[in-house]
Chain A
Amino acid sequence: MATLSLYGQSILVLASLILFTSFALLAQTRALPLIRLFAWQGILLAVTTALVAWVTHQPHLYVSALLTLGLKALLIPWLLIRLVNRLGLHNEVENPKANALVLLGAAALTVFCYEIALPIMRLSTLLTRNVIAVSLAVVLLGMLLIIVRSKAVTQVVGFMCMENGLFFAAVVATYGMPMVVELGVAFDVLIAAILFGLFFLQIRDSIDSLDIDRLSRLRETDE
């Protein structure tokens, strides 16, 4: 195998850091550190995007990097932290069931992503092709976070983490999507973040808790 350039090496290091934050999110059980980790993932993503933009001379990626930094690393974490403080959730600790098993499952998912991404990696000529599997893994780990946790805050972080993975995939597979699409997606993410905030208030008002497990009135088996 040919030796990697400095650029290739730094992309790989950054990608592995992003994947690491995804695993850390799965292991974290307190709301505030969880949001901070999510903010770090956003920062890493923005740095990766800026690096790709600089090396490959894709000026539009600078815009994407700035959008990511503003939205995923600053605005959304800030909104979430404010809500957590306002609702007094910062001391709550979640007790996820069988967390070691979940982390092992996450590792298995990551390996599975490499298998799925093979046909794409074979076709791609971009320097970043090795990272496509990692981006898919970030998407799936975000989904796993939503599935195994029952706190509303954690589910929102999982949702945003999936968005991070999708954006990462677009950057490394195709150097980003067309600008108009990226702006549209960013707009949707922003609206979603605001709606999530409003939802927290609604959920708390209606069931006095932000524990999604208590949302179980709508079932087929109910009388």
Chain B
Amino acid sequence: MSSGAALLAPLLLVPLAGVIILAVLGHSRRAGWINIGISLLTLLASLGLAAVVLEKGHLLIGGGMFYIDAFNVYLLVLTAFVGLTTAIFSRAYMLDEMAHGRVNTKRLQLYHAMYQGFLFTMLLALSTNNLGILWVAMEGATLATVMLVSLYRTPESVEAAWKYFILCGVGIAQALFGTVLLFFAAERVVHHRDRALWWNVLYARADHLDPAVMSLAFVFLLVGYGTKVGLVPLHNWLPDAHSEGPTPISAVLSGLLLNVALYALVRIKMLADPTLGALPGELMMAFGLLSFLVAVFFLHRQRDIKRLYSYSSIEHMGLMTFGFGLGVPLATFAALLHMTVHSLTKSALFVSAGHAIHLAGTQSMERIRGLIRAEPTVGWGLLIGTVAIAGFPPFGIFTSEFLLLLATLQSWPWLTLPLLAGLLIALAGLLRHVQPMVYGEPMAGWKPVRANVLPVAVHLALVLWLGLAIPVILAHWFIHATILISGRSPW
């Protein structure tokens, strides 16, 4: 108990202190380094916490306020890790933006403070035991990033931020109504009022919750958190918000925030499953498949490099939602693995795309050509990342998609057809845009950039490793999380 608390406290307090420190020092040239330092401390705390959870199974910390088990601890580590690598990328990137006059010192200060604020709200959402606080933290994550999306103050970015704010605000309001309904159902079975929204308490009594109220609550929560996951038809804000903000923010939005929203949805599904049977799973499968299929077609129509990868995020979030919806252990395992490899690959892609944008001075894909000649590390990073995200072996995404297809074949054989067709269409859509960007002659007049490809290399190496062999510790977590979510081990 005490060792867990001793590690969770810094995990949450370090980024919170980071908000204050960077709110004061965020404009200085050293702010990038401070940001990296804070993220590194956060990562160390999360690794320590993971070691404790590995030993003890699950932890109830702070008198029941926080609950850590195999499912959220690996997401905590993933969030802290991608937070650190993106901070490393962000230091050079934001200095470059300063040099080009796109941000002034005041906005840089806001950027750094809110970067840590965003990490804090995500870590809080992942570690809290209270479903009400989970909602508060999710809304907090929106509020922390909305000013970052409009950081450049161009008409497009202000529009994207407004859309993000209003659509996500309306969406997440549905989730709060769902939470009220859940509390209403919980009050009947949990007699201690203040504990009625505690996830571990509710989970223990989930089969006593009233089915009529739970079905209503689940639908509201699915629509609410589904908006934040980016499920079609509630996805409209996502490509705008992910493409108009600074690139490090695109990387953490696509790589991390979507995962946290999906995490919330899966926790709710675990509560609804015992009383509602197949309904929650089937709803999630339907929304997931729809998102996947719509997004793969939109991939073909994009002109902006960051919008391309945003639609790819919708596609993959759809696949994961579908996987969790299937509910069988193999599909759950595949979806958990997919969450990890998608985060790593997508943030690497946004980092590469950010370098390409700086090189070309535009986000329009028609004006980005010959990256491999111009800046080999950026070009190869973009190409390998795209090949990985499209699901080629031997990368980790191939493994998770293969397992997901296998699980689909065992439980809903007909649905493998649209899945396979969708994956092929997505592959064509990605390669038709990326191939001309990386090969051929570079355009005239490009200025070389100081590319920091360390985050890209580390992420892609990890994805490759996960595709070849999943480390024992990680497999252990995934299997434990699978048992928690679906009740059985995948093998």
State A152–B161 Cα separation when bound (angstroms): 13
Assess the A202–B158 pair: CB atoms within 8 A: yes
Contacting residues, chain B, for A220 (C-beta < 8 A): 298, 301
Q: Count the A residues whose beta carbon is within 8 Å of the partner chain — how many?
A: 46
Q: Which of B9-17, B145-153, B325-333, B447-455 contacts A (4 or more CB under 8 A)?
A: B145-153
State A132–B414 Cα separation when bound (angstroms): 42
Contacting residues, chain B, for A88 (C-beta < 8 A): none
Contacting residues, chain A, for B244 (C-beta < 8 A): 218
State A143–B177 Cα separation when bound (angstroms): 13
Contact flags B187-228 to A (C-beta < 8 A → 1, else 0): 110000110110000000000001011001000000000000
Contacting residues, chain B, for A218 (C-beta < 8 A): 156, 159-160, 163, 239-240, 244
Assess the B183–A177 pair: CB atoms within 8 A: yes
Contacting residues, chain A, for B158 (C-beta < 8 A): 199, 202-203, 206-207, 215
Assess the B133–A180 pair: CB atoms within 8 A: yes
Contact flags B164-185 to A (C-beta < 8 A → 1, else 0): 0110011001001101110110
Contacting residues, chain B, for A191 (C-beta < 8 A): 140, 143
Contacting residues, chain B, for A187 (C-beta < 8 A): 136
Identify 28 residue pairs between A and B in the complex whose beta-carbon atoms are under 8 Å apart, listed by A's number. A120-B181, A120-B184, A123-B212, A124-B184, A136-B177, A139-B177, A143-B170, A163-B173, A169-B180, A170-B180, A173-B180, A174-B180, A177-B132, A177-B180, A178-B193, A178-B196, A178-B197, A180-B132, A185-B139, A188-B140, A195-B143, A202-B153, A203-B162, A206-B153, A206-B154, A207-B158, A215-B155, A218-B239
Assess the B143–A123 pair: CB atoms within 8 A: no
State A178–B173 Cα separation when bound (angstroms): 17
Contacting residues, chain B, for A198 (C-beta < 8 A): 147
Q: A123-B210, A202-B150, A206-B154 are in contact. Are A181 and B166 (CB under 8 A)?
A: no
Q: Is B130 an interface residue (CB 8 A)?
A: yes
Q: Is A40 an interface residue (CB 8 A)?
A: no
Name B's A-contacting residues (CB within 8 A).
130, 132-133, 135-136, 139-140, 143, 146-147, 150, 153-156, 158-163, 165-166, 169-170, 173, 176-177, 179-181, 183-184, 187-188, 193-194, 196-197, 210, 212-213, 216, 239-240, 244, 298, 301
Assess the A166–B173 pair: CB atoms within 8 A: yes
Assess the A119–B240 pair: CB atoms within 8 A: no
Assess the B210–A217 pair: CB atoms within 8 A: no
Measured CB to CB, the closest approach of chain A to B237, in angstroms, equals 10
State A155–B154 Cα separation when bound (angstroms): 21
Q: Is A159 an interface residue (CB 8 A)?
A: yes
Q: Is A13 an interface residue (CB 8 A)?
A: no
Q: Residue A146 contacts which of B140, B153, B166, B187 (CB distance < 8 angstroms)?
A: B166
Assess the A215–B163 pair: CB atoms within 8 A: yes
State A216–B159 Cα separation when bound (angstroms): 8
Assess the A120–B216 pair: CB atoms within 8 A: yes
State A120–B183 Cα separation when bound (angstroms): 12
Measured CB to CB, the closest approach of chain B to A157, in angstroms, equals 12
Assess the B153–A184 pair: CB atoms within 8 A: no
Measured CB to CB, the closest approach of chain B to A105, in angstroms, equals 17
State A143–B172 Cα separation when bound (angstroms): 12
Assess the A199–B162 pair: CB atoms within 8 A: yes
Q: A177-B132, A199-B165, A206-B153 are in contact. Are A217 and B180 (CB under 8 A)?
A: no
Q: Closest A-chain residue to B197, C-beta based?
A: A178
State A218–B307 Cα separation when bound (angstroms): 11
Q: A185-B176, A206-B153 are in contact. Are A119 and B213 (CB under 8 A)?
A: yes
Contact flags A114-136 to B (C-beta < 8 A → 1, else 0): 00100110111000000000001
Contacting residues, chain A, for B183 (C-beta < 8 A): 170, 173-174, 177-178
State A195–B216 Cα separation when bound (angstroms): 32
Assess the B216–A119 pair: CB atoms within 8 A: yes
Q: Is A162 an interface residue (CB 8 A)?
A: yes
Contacting residues, chain B, for A119 (C-beta < 8 A): 210, 212-213, 216
Assess the B196–A217 pair: CB atoms within 8 A: no
Contact flags A167-204 to B (C-beta < 8 A → 1, else 0): 00110011001111100110110011001101100110
State A174–B177 Cα separation when bound (angstroms): 12
| Given A174-B183, A185-B132: 12 more A-B contacts, CB < 8 Å | A119-B212, A120-B184, A123-B184, A146-B170, A174-B187, A178-B193, A181-B132, A192-B139, A206-B153, A206-B155, A215-B155, A215-B162
State A122–B212 Cα separation when bound (angstroms): 10
State A162–B130 Cα separation when bound (angstroms): 23
Assess the B139–A188 pair: CB atoms within 8 A: yes
Q: A192-B169, A195-B165, A218-B240 are in contact. Are A173 and B184 (CB under 8 A)?
A: yes
Q: Residue A181 contacts which of B143, B160, B197, B216 (CB distance < 8 angstroms)?
A: B197
State A86–B244 Cα separation when bound (angstroms): 29
State A173–B180 Cα separation when bound (angstroms): 8
Measured CB to CB, the closest approach of chain B to A52, in angstroms, equals 15
Contacting residues, chain B, for A178 (C-beta < 8 A): 130, 132, 183, 193-194, 196-197
Q: Closest A-chain residue to B132, C-beta based?
A: A181
Assess the B181–A173 pair: CB atoms within 8 A: yes
State A198–B106 Cα separation when bound (angstroms): 15
Q: Closest B-chain residue to A196, C-beta based?
A: B165
Contacting residues, chain A, for B239 (C-beta < 8 A): 218
Contacting residues, chain A, for B184 (C-beta < 8 A): 120, 123-124, 173-174
Q: Closest B-chain residue to A188, C-beta based?
A: B139
Q: Closest B-chain residue to A169, C-beta based?
A: B180
Q: Closest B-chain residue to A166, C-beta based?
A: B176
